[in-house]
Structure 1
Amino acid sequence: MTAERGGGSGGAEEAIELLRALIREGCVNDGTPASGQEIRSVRVLQRFLADVIALEHVEAHVLESAPGRASLIVRVHGTDPAAPALGLLGHLDVVPVDPDGWTRNPFGGELIDGEIWGRGAVDMLYLTAAFACVLREVALAPTPPRGDLVLLAVADEEAGSSLGMHWLVREHSEIVRVTEALSESGGMRMGRHVAIEVAEKGSAGRRLVVQGKPGHASIPFGATSAAYRMGEVLQRLEEVMPAAQLGELWNAFVDARIDDPALAERLRDPVRLDAALPQLGGIAGYAHAVSRITISPTVVRAGSVHNVIPGSASIDLDIRTLPGTSDDEVDELLVAVLGPIADQVEIRHLHGWAATGSSPHTPLFASIMRAIAEVADAPTVPIMAAGGSDARVLRELGIPAYGFGLLAPGWSYERYREGVHGNDERIDVTSVELSMAALRRIVADRIG
């Protein structure tokens, strides 16, 4: 009987209690350098792994990129230098909450009717806890592993990783050295398939700036409000949609998720795809996002006081790019979208990164597929994530990294996305058990 069908504890009790403890630390990252304070969760993990850290073949480091912005790296050394060094990459920070939107304490870590409630339960503390538990099991086993197993419990993922993985690979490259890795954004169900993230879109933030002629608001004649011109920009952004560009993962997504042959045929046609999106229900947003570059206006600025007509205005764009898209191509796309008003708009570059991906034809991905088949009796489908994760930092170094997880039946992609950054975030015990069972098989296969 598989673990999915069995419904037993699956040896996940420690992971569940560790998850609850991590939630209670409330390491909220609002993007400011002093927020997060992941050192609190690092201390929780240090206490949990105290007997492991004392072992001769285990190496542990607490690394702070700024006061309180700590990451914990624990390496169980293997016996074969030629064997893989498998990284288990989990972040410790969580996004802010609106307590009024929650029916339970978002930092209570309550276990109610088989579900653990709290900010970060899905994104991604349940996996961070599972990673720590499996590393502990490997470290305490009577026989050391063949390859290294490395827990990377890191800071600052939710704000772009500059105080987390980016800093770690730049300042402590040898300590965080791995040859392959598992991280977040996998395990949701796509039909009967289990989705594993092998790629994620890039980010190409832009600020569009327009100029007007300022004046006193009581005498508007002769002045030209930059706010009006920004209104024209917003109208163009709303009316003009980037065309679909179907990459190599698109057909796998359609095959896994769409049962209707006629609908599947329309989705494979870039010309007919957009008209078919409304028929996809809750998965339409994902399908739209991964089939094109997306442009989302997020911050609009014009003026500072009510009685002055603004002479300049700006709008920030969150632009998510497909693999192979260059910065020049993003700027060319914006010029095309703006059309006749493009020469009136200055395009400034904000922070960004390229789309990244790992091949689904590596030994690690093969291990993931075998583990999911054994535990869940389900095939695996490789997908691209619309958002970002720390896995991209490793992929940029040429290291294969995959978004892992094995969520319970019923955890569709839509349900997963509702839990990530949403109100009443929670994970069920069965999903923790299944993920633990699959993770143990992968670790044994790769470095056991």
Structure 2
Amino acid sequence: MESEGPVQAQAEVAELLSDLIRIDTTNTGDTATSAGERVAAEWVAGKLDEVGIGSQILESERGRASLVARIPGTDPSRPALLVHGHLDVVPADPAEWSVHPFSGGERDGYVWGRGAVDMKDMDAMVLALVRDWARTGVQPPRDIVLAYVADEEAGGALGARWLVDEHPDLVADCSEAISEVGGFSITVRDDLRLYLVQTAEKGLAWMRLTAGGRPGHGSFVHDDNAVTRLCQAVARLGSARLPTVLTPPMRDFLAAVEDAYGVEIDPDQPEEALARLGSISRMIGAALRNTANPTMLQAGYKTNVIPGTASATVDGRFLHGQEEEFERQLASLIGEGVQREWIVHDQAVETTFDGPLVDQMVAALRSEDDGARPVPFTMSGGTDAKSFQRLGMRCFGFSPLRLPADLDFASLFHGIDERVPVESLRFGVRVLDRFLRAV
């Protein structure tokens, strides 16, 4: 059952998102070549200031800015709720897009551009909602802390992690947090949609592999070749299919899929049943095991010279409780003669799908969609929950969107022609309004 909801917030959310997309916040992983988040943080601060909400901007490095604001609740004795989102986006090549990735244009009922789903949509929905509240005098039951942070796309060292390490007082009283990636729908049939709420995410293990060998002339026979040794290790990693491990959130998710689709899932081969979910099955399937995917190679400087070293980067992800096992799996696959060093290494996060906060998520979704069935899941990627969880918060992915049944949502994360339906944004505003008024 759809409600009228906060009218002004729904009216302006698409425009706010468009404006935010037009601010290039590309994060290359290196401050020297990144656009930086300062302009976006100042834009958010200005939008909050227009309605009387104060905020502060903090920089970890020049231009790498995060913003924090607090919305006072009616009961200051209660722990606060953190609502966080990142301002940075991954790079985008305009030549690959049908629209310019930083145009922020609205077309065919969608807002298009880099960050439309990851995650300036949530940034805009929250901003639209708190602006509406400030105009109409709505006060939540407890303090809500807003954090618009830098650097999530490169692991958060200059954003959420820096805030937790250097300014923990700004968020230390928060007992729970919501952010990306969760709350979006998968259509089972006209009267049933699963809404995936993230209660866990895999740990992050980005690594560099380096192989050494004897350098020499490319025309000679070489039994000790760094490139060959590295490529053998990379091939083993890239082709390995690590064992299935069903964590508690994924067991609950698979049980919901069994019930919704009327199928029986083989716990040893769950991917066959997950194929029913369409493209989102790629995201879900990656949370059934540890993974290690080679991403970049570097070696040599001339065709006829055997280099003394060769290196590769690998994107590794491990499930909650699987860190030691993942280390053993890596050692076995990499083999002898190749050194490994961490580029970014961060914990897996997991909480349970229960308690008053979860009850309110469920109630808010069902109030706006009679066919909603919220279910927990594990996110294959990583979010800033890794940093905020260090302060003892229970972290959830809850960025609610009711999506068209035929939208290939999973492909839009870091994908070409990233876009989000305007009606989904308005739905998200209504759900967040119900949720945040009740928590």
TM over 0.5: yes
CA distance in structure 1 between the partners assigned to 2:435 and 2:134 by the alignment: 16
- The 8 Å contact of residues 9 and 131 in structure 2, kept in 1 or not, is answered as no
Distance 1:107 1:87, change over 3 A: same
Match of 1:32 in 2: 30
Aligned position for 1:397? 391
CA 1:302–1:362 in 2, change beyond 3 Å: closer, same or farther?
Answer: same
Task: Tell me the equivalent position of 1:17.
Answer: 15
Structure-2 residue corresponding to 1:304 = 301
In structure 2, the residue matched to 1:42 is 41
Once the two structures are TM-superposed, the CA of residue 367 in structure 1 deviates from its matched residue by 0.9
CA distance in 2, matches of 1:265, 1:221: 53
CA–CA distance in structure 1, aligned partners of residues 143 and 289 of structure 2: 39
Segment drifting more, 193-202 vs 140-149: 140-149
Shift of 1:235: 3.4
3-state SS, counterpart of residue 380 of structure 1: strand
Q: Normalising by the residue count of structure 1, what TM-score does the alignment of the two structures yield?
A: 0.88
1:223-302 correspondence runs (5 A): 224-258=224-258, 261=262, 264-266=264-266, 268=267, 270=268, 272-273=269-270, 281-302=278-299
> Given the alignment, which residue of 177, 184, 197 partners 1:181?
177
Which residue, 409, 420, 423 being the options, matches 1:427?
420
Q: CA RMSD in A?
A: 2.5
TM-score (norm 2): 0.90
2:346 maps to 353
3-state SS in 1 of match to 2:292: strand
Aligned-partner residue type, residue 112 of structure 2: W
Query: What amino acid does structure 1 have at the position aligned with 2:177?
Result: A
Match of 1:60 in 2: 55
Q: Distance in 1 between matches of 2:434 and 2:170?
A: 25
Query: How far does residue 9 in structure 1 lie from its aligned partner after superposition?
Result: 6.6
Query: For 2:310 and 2:249, how far apart are their aligned partners in 1?
Result: 39
Deviations 1:139-190 (A, max 9, x none): 3444644421222111111111111111111111112342222111112223
Residue among 369, 374, 379 paired with 2:362: 369
1:19 shift after superposition:
0.9
Distance 1:352 1:179 in 2: 24
Q: How many residues align?
A: 430
1:188 touches 1:411 (CA, 8 Å); kept in 2? no
1:417 paired to 2:416:
no
1:184-224 CA deviation, whole Å, 9 max, x = no partner? 11122233211111111001223333332221123x13563
Cα–Cα, structure 1 residues 208 and 68, in superposed 2: closer, same or farther, change >3 Å?
closer
Displacement of 1:7 after TM fit? 12
Shift of 1:281: 5.0
Moved more, 282-291 or 111-120: 282-291
- How much has 1:349 moved relative to structure 2? 3.1
SS of 2:265 mapped into structure 1 = helix
User: CA offset at residue 410 of structure 1?
Assistant: 2.3
Paired letter, 1:383 = F
Q: Distance in 2 between matches of 1:349 and 1:216?
A: 32
Identify the range of structure 1 (58-67 vs 417-426) with the bigger mean alpha-carbon deviation.
58-67
Letter in 2 for 1:445: A
Amino acid at match of 2:37: E
Equivalent position amino acid for 2:330 in 1: L
Q: Distance in 1 between matches of 2:132 and 2:275?
A: 47
Task: Kindly provide the amino acid, as one letter, of the partner of residue 396 in structure 2.
Answer: Y
Q: CA deviation at 1:324?
A: 1.2
1:382 corresponds to: 376
> 2-side partners of 1:147 and 1:187: how far apart?
22
**Counterpart check, 1:331 vs 2:331:** no
Q: CA deviation at 1:282?
A: 2.7
Q: How far did 1:445 drift?
A: 0.3
By how many angstroms is 1:77 displaced?
2.1
SS in 2 for 1:360: coil
Q: CA deviation at 1:52?
A: 3.3
Alignment correspondent of 1:157:
152
Identity of aligned residues (%): 36
Deviations 1:222-260 (A, max 9, x none): 563222222322332244321111111223322334555
